[in-house]
């Protein structure tokens, strides 16, 4: 059993509240580097079960260390998120495992073995709260494509290189 495994059959009919702190690692999809969670994640969850369907209403608070998408500088983002998740059992009774999903199924999460992985749930919620493109500032200038200098800290003397395929358009611009 993990640090925050939720055993569905042990949930009382009137629900259960779980509060606490948990250490976790958030792994970004697509081979990107892990998200650096600074310290424990504080959580407050209210769990209710109706048959094999479990509803989790909760909130979490964390501080996440990230790198700017433009300049690669490191900084921290506070994450405070309220959420609701509905879990249904993954046991569909289908022999081949192929199940057609409809639009309503897209809002559901699935669990197997009678246990919901609460740590995974919190990690997913942190990922959902982070912007797709993390910037240290709205006006971040990024890095010079030629010398790699951080343009937020210094100006460089590099000339912008023009793709030779666009050279004829540059000549047209210069004539106007």
| Tens-digit pLDDT profile for residues 56-106 | 999 999 999 999 999 999 999 999 999 999 999 876 544 445 556 555 556
CA 45, 51, 53, 55: dihedral to nearest 10 degrees? -20
DSSP state of 100: -
Q: Cα(105)–Cα(93) distance, rounded to whole angstroms?
A: 16
Q: How far is the C-alpha of 81 from the C-alpha of 61, rounded, in Å?
A: 7
Residue 49's pLDDT band (boundaries 50, 70, 90)? very high
User: Which has more confidence, 51 or 107?
Assistant: 51
Helix (H) or strand (E) holding 80: strand 74-89
Does residue 58 or residue 145 have the better pLDDT? Answer: 58
For every residue of 131-155, DSSP letters joined together read -SS--SSTT---B-TTT--BTTT--
Beta strands in the chain (DSSP E): 5-7, 16-22, 36-50, 53-67, 74-89, 108-111, 115-117
Give me 58's structure tokens.
């909760």
Instruction: For tokens 């990024």, name the residue.
Output: 142
The encoded tokens of residue 129 equal 């709260």
At residue 149 the predicted structure's pLDDT band, cuts being 50, 70 and 90, is: very high
């Amino acid at each position: 059993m993990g640090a925050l495994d939720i055993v569905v059959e042990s949930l009382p009919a009137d629900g259960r509240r779980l509060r606490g702190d948990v250490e976790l690692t958030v792994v970004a999809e697509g081979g990107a580097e892990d998200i650096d969670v600074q310290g424990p994640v504080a959580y407050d969850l209210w769990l209710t079960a109706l048959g094999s369907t479990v509803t989790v209403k909760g909130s979490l608070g964390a501080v996440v260390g990230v790198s700017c998408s433009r300049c690669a500088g490191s900084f921290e983002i506070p994450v405070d998120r309220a959420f609701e998740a509905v879990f249904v059992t993954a046991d569909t009774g289908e022999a081949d495992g192929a199940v057609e999903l409809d639009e309503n199924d897209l809002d559901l999460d699935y669990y197997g073995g009678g246990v919901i992985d609460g740590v995974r749930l919190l990690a997913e919620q942190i990922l959902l709260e982070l912007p797709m493109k993390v910037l240290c500032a709205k006006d971040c200038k990024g890095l010079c494509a030629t010398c790699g200098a951080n343009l937020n800290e210094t100006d460089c003397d590099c000339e912008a290189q023009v793709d030779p395929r666009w050279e004829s358009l540059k000549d047209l611009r210069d004539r106007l």
